[in-house]
Amino acid sequence: MKAFIVKKYSKKEKLHLTDVNTPTVNENQVLVQIHSAGLNLLDSLIRNGEFKIFLPYKAPFINGHDMAGTVIKVGSGVKKYKVGDEVYSRVGDHRIGTFAEQIAVNETDLALKPKNISMEEAASIPLVGLTSWQALVEIANLKKGQKVFIQAGSGGVGTFAIQLAKHLGAFVATTTSSANTALVKSLGADLIIDYKTQDFATILKDYDMVLHSNREAKILENSLKILKPGGTLVSLTGPPTPEFAKEIGLAWPFRILMGLLSGSVRRKAKKLGVNFNFLFMRAQGSQLQQITQLIESGVIKPIIDKVFPFEKTNDAMTYVESGRTKGKVVVKVK
């Protein structure tokens, strides 16, 4: 089968389209014929080697985390799925490889594709949907009437998180450029801040939650300051914490390292009486199935910027890395 592989870790490295063996399926996996694959900045970071400390992939390996497709084979222990089912997934860490024609996926990482959207739309959902769910629902336990600040509202996570937060009954503030104001307003944003001309730190106060995705240290510090006492900041960009290292089973030297990396921000959060959390989302088919229900009921709609043909996957990656996307970017494999 055809697949795009990473030959070596490098920011300058392109993905290489090549022929690889068809995946084998163990008893708890299904083989999926991939129709479409969603692209995420995570794919670039994995290729660059930025997460190889705790996610070491041995090159060459197939890149890609999101997909939608059709089940063509099931393992002997699989109970929920059968040949012909249309499914989607953010596949599990250490088992990535959605930039390919087929992939073997653990049954627990899968969900049935929403019936009311296309394969391309379904492929755009899993990573950003699960990230939003795990941040807003699982960690912050966001409730009706609370206030949440979602950074980068027109991006992949932002466009999903705004819709989910509104469904939960929250007041939503977000940042975007003036060109994308209409988009985030249509998704439900209540307060829209133009990050080019306005400073959110002078506008926002007493928020219950911040979904943080900016890499600038000053932005992180100011994000902590707009929280009310007891409020929660969930960061998608770090720094990672010792709790995260323990959660994914890293040895004590790595826990100490991540403790050092996040020590300053954790001390600032403690002084302010707020909570700092680092989220590296995990595959979770049961949560994705709940997201399916929200999509089928019309609560959440996928936002796609561009769909590229499979052979243009590198162009799609470059576009994602530009930081100018409105919603998600997808490649059509089949």
Beta strands per DSSP E along the chain: 2-6, 16-19, 29-39, 61-62, 66-74, 86-90, 102-106, 110-112, 147-150, 171-176, 191-194, 207-212, 227-235, 275-278, 304-309, 328-332
Average pLDDT over every residue of 115-130: 98
Contact 99, 4 (CB under 8 A): yes
User: How many beta carbons lie within 10 A of that of residue 15, not counting itself?
Assistant: 20
- SS3 assignment, position 87: strand
Domain at 226, CATH number: 3.40.50.720
Q: Are residues 67 and 132 in the same domain?
A: no
**Nearest-5° Cα angle at 49, 46 to 51:** 70
pLDDT band at 252 (very low <50, low <70, confident <90, very high): confident
**Residue at 223 is within a domain:** yes
Residues 181 and 259 both lie in one domain: yes
Average pLDDT (257-269) is 95
Q: Is residue 298 part of a domain?
A: no
86 within 8 A of 68, measured Cβ to Cβ = yes
> Is 292 a domain residue?
no
> Does residue 107 form part of some domain?
yes
pLDDT (0 to 100) of residue 75: 98
Label residue 275 by pLDDT band (50, 70, 90).
very high
> Are 219 and 207 found together in one domain?
yes
pLDDT interval class at 103 (50, 70, 90): very high
Same structural domain for residues 35 and 68? yes
Residues 147 and 97 occupy one common structural domain: no
Q: Are 215 and 258 in contact (CB under 8 A)?
A: no
pLDDT at 154 over 90: yes
Question: Residue 254: which H helix or E strand, with range?
Answer: helix 252-272
Q: What is the pLDDT of residue 254?
A: 86
Asked if residue 161 and residue 183 are part of one domain, the reply reads: yes
Q: How many whole angstroms separate alpha carbon 39 and alpha carbon 314?
A: 10
Residue at 61 is within a domain: yes
| Residue 248 pLDDT class (50, 70, 90 cuts) | confident
The DSSP code sequence of 34-73 is EEEEEE-HHHHHHHHTTTTTTS---SSEE---EEEEEEEE
| 140 and 244 assigned to the same domain | yes
- Whether the model clears a pTM of 0.85, i.e. scores above it, the answer is yes
For 40-61, what is each residue's pLDDT tens digit?
Answer: 999 999 999 998 888 899 999 9
Mean pLDDT of 240-257: 89
CATH number of domain containing 61: 3.90.180.10
- Rounded Cα distance between 304 and 294, Å, is 17
* Total residues belonging to the chain: 334
> Could you tell me if residue 289 is inside a domain?
no
Report percent pLDDT > 70 for the chain.
Answer: 100
pLDDT in tens, 12-23: 999 999 999 999
Same domain? For 158 and 247 the reply is: yes
pLDDT at position 332 is 98
Dihedral sign, Cα of residue 143, residue 147, residue 149, residue 154? positive
Residue 227 has pLDDT above 90, yes or no: yes
Are 136 and 160 contained in the same domain? yes
Q: What is the pLDDT of residue 53?
A: 83
pLDDT, position 213? 96
Task: Dump pLDDT digits (tens) for 62-90.
Answer: 999 999 999 999 999 999 999 999 999 99
Q: Are 11 and 112 within one domain?
A: yes
Asked if residue 288 is part of any domain, the answer here is: no
Domain that holds residue 82: 2-125+303-332
Number of domains in the chain: 2
Q: Is residue 296 part of a domain?
A: no
275 within 8 A of 233, measured Cβ to Cβ: yes
The predicted model gives 123-136 an average pLDDT of 98
Same domain, 165 and 175: yes
Give pLDDT tens digits for 191-224: 999 999 999 999 999 999 999 999 899 999 999 9
Whether residue 172 is found in the same domain as residue 312: no
Instruction: Compute the average pLDDT of residues 272-280.
Output: 97
